[in-house]
Amino acid sequence: MMHIGTGLVCGGKMKDMVEAGFDFIIFLADWHSMINNKFGGDMGKIRKAGEYFKHCFTALGLSEGRAHYLWASELADQPGYWERVLRVGKSTTAQRVMRALPIMGKDMKSQESEAAALFYPCMQAADIFQMKLDVACGGIDQRKAHVLAREAGEHLGWGKPVSVHTPVLMGLAGFESLEKGSFDEDPKLSRVIAAKMSKSKPGSNILIHDSPEVISEKLRKAYCPPGVVEGNPLLEYYRVLAFLGSEHVLLKRDSKYGGDIDLGSYRELEEIYKAGKIHPQDLKSNMAAMLSDKLAPVREYFSQHESILEGMQKMEAGS
Amino acid sequence: MDPEKRLDLVTRGTVEIIRESELRELLASKKKPRAYWGFECSGKQAQACTD
């Protein structure tokens, strides 16, 4: 199911791009999912999951019309697509391609990857050129794939796409329980990827469908040691989700604990949290209220489209 | 829309732009540039490879 990282971070940035006047394509990467063995590589299920994504983004304000939706398999059917994939592959080395795919759900040192994995970054680059894109957006874990596309584009005379990278939101366990292993030579990026992967554990992230009660309960259990900022998911959610696009955030608090605090910036929150002037419980209850509010349109949309949600839940349980 | 406002919308909340100078040039030269975000269609590991 879609979690708030995809729904609010990716979704929010895509809405920013649309507002800034971009012609925006939400690319449903069915072939790529097959390479990456999603749903055991079952294209029927992958397609259903893609339809579900389309509903989720529609509910978040990116309906067809504001953005375009395109399947990877539609793009790959266009004349010249596979030639582009091969041209990208010929412009680089197998080693560079391997380095562009550290997050295949495996440790990067593993030699057991399927050979089809090598196509993946080449297709990502080819997709960008086939769609004649000016900008490629993605989480920071997509950095190497985008750099590969820029290098290939320069080499082949196809132009260099600008890349826009967002943070990858950490799961509710923060740095408390990370996936073990090395996912990138850069230890910082490796940790980001490990934190991201930890989100595949049930209950370790907030879903865009969660009710206000479930959001509160998940946040109640979230890792949030008093005074600690590093690896604290609550602080990260404030930085990435609350302060984005707003000058200040009002933190509501019982008058017996000091009353409301008007925060002028994320830095200010960090300072006073480090100084022990805000209780974790206050961070959690305010974040729960904010997320419930942001996700209200999604709950409303899916209350009208229950079968879509149920279908996805069943498929996920069965895979 | 004023170019600075457009630039701010694209860059706010990001961790990296490669490269901001190219983005500025793009926004100055194109009214409706094309952009994308790719998503793997998966359930369990919702935010996966292409997103």
- Comparing CB atoms, the residue among B35, B38, B46 nearest residue A124 is B38
What is the interface pTM, i.e. ipTM, of the complex? Answer: 0.89
pTM of this prediction?
0.91
Does the beta-carbon distance from B19 to A162 stay under 8 Å?
yes
Does residue A222 belong to the interface with chain B, where contact is any CB pair within 8 Å?
no
Question: What are the average pLDDT values for consecutive 10-residue runs of chain A, which has 319 residues?
Answer: 94 96 97 91 95 97 96 97 98 90 55 83 97 96 93 97 93 72 67 60 82 96 94 94 84 92 94 95 97 97 96 85
A290-to-A60, A93, A149, A277 alpha-carbon distances in Å: 15, 47, 37, 21
Quick one: pLDDT at residue A176? 65
State yes or no: cis peptide before B19, omega within 30 of 0: yes
Quick one: pLDDT at residue B45? 46
Quick one: pLDDT at residue A98? 87
Closest residue in B to A3 (Cα–Cα): B46
**What is the full DSSP assignment across chain B?**
--HHHHHHHHHTT-SEEETHHHHHHHHHH-SS-EEEEEEE--SSS-S-TT-
Does the beta-carbon distance from A162 to B22 stay under 8 Å?
yes
Residues of chain A found within 8 Å of residue B23, distances taken between Cβ atoms: 135, 162, 164
Quick one: pLDDT at residue A317? 86
Does the beta-carbon distance from A20 to B40 stay under 8 Å?
no
Neighbour-count burial of A50, counting CB atoms closer than 10 A to its CB (0-12 exposed, 13-18 middle, 19+ buried): buried
- Please give the backbone phi and psi of residue B13, each rounded to the nearest 5 degrees, phi first: 75, 5
Does the beta-carbon distance from B9 to A134 stay under 8 Å?
no
Point out the residues of chain B with pLDDT beneath 50: 45-51
Does residue B24 belong to the interface with chain A, where contact is any CB pair within 8 Å?
no
CB B38 within 8 A of CB A50: no
**What is the full DSSP assignment across chain A?**
--BHIIIIIIHHHHHHHHHTT-EEEEEEEHHHHHHTTGGGG-HHHHHHHHHHHHHHHHHTT--BTTBEEEEHHHHHTSTTHHHHHHHHHHTS-HHHHHHT---SSS-TT-S---GGGGHHHHHHHHHHHHTT-SEEEEEGGGHHHHHHHHHHHHHHTS---EEEEEPPPP-TTTTSSPPPS---SSHHHHHHHHHHHGGGSTTSS-BTT--HHHHHHHHHTS---TT--TT-HHHHHIIIIISTT-S-EEE---GGGT--EEESSHHHHHHHHHTT-S-HHHHHHHHHHHHHHHHHHHHHHHHH-HHHHHHHHHHHHH-
Residues of chain B found within 8 Å of residue A106, distances taken between Cβ atoms: none
Residue written as token pair 């879609």: A2
CA angle A16, A19, A22 (to 5 degrees): 90
Quick one: pLDDT at residue A239? 93
Q: How far apart are CA A227 and CA A211, in angstroms?
A: 29
> Nearest-CA distance from B25 to chain A in Å?
10
> Nearest-CA distance from B39 to chain A in Å?
5
Quick one: pLDDT at residue B48? 33
Does residue A2 belong to the interface with chain B, where contact is any CB pair within 8 Å?
yes
Does the beta-carbon distance from A166 to B15 stay under 8 Å?
yes
Residues of chain B found within 8 Å of residue A132, distances taken between Cβ atoms: 34
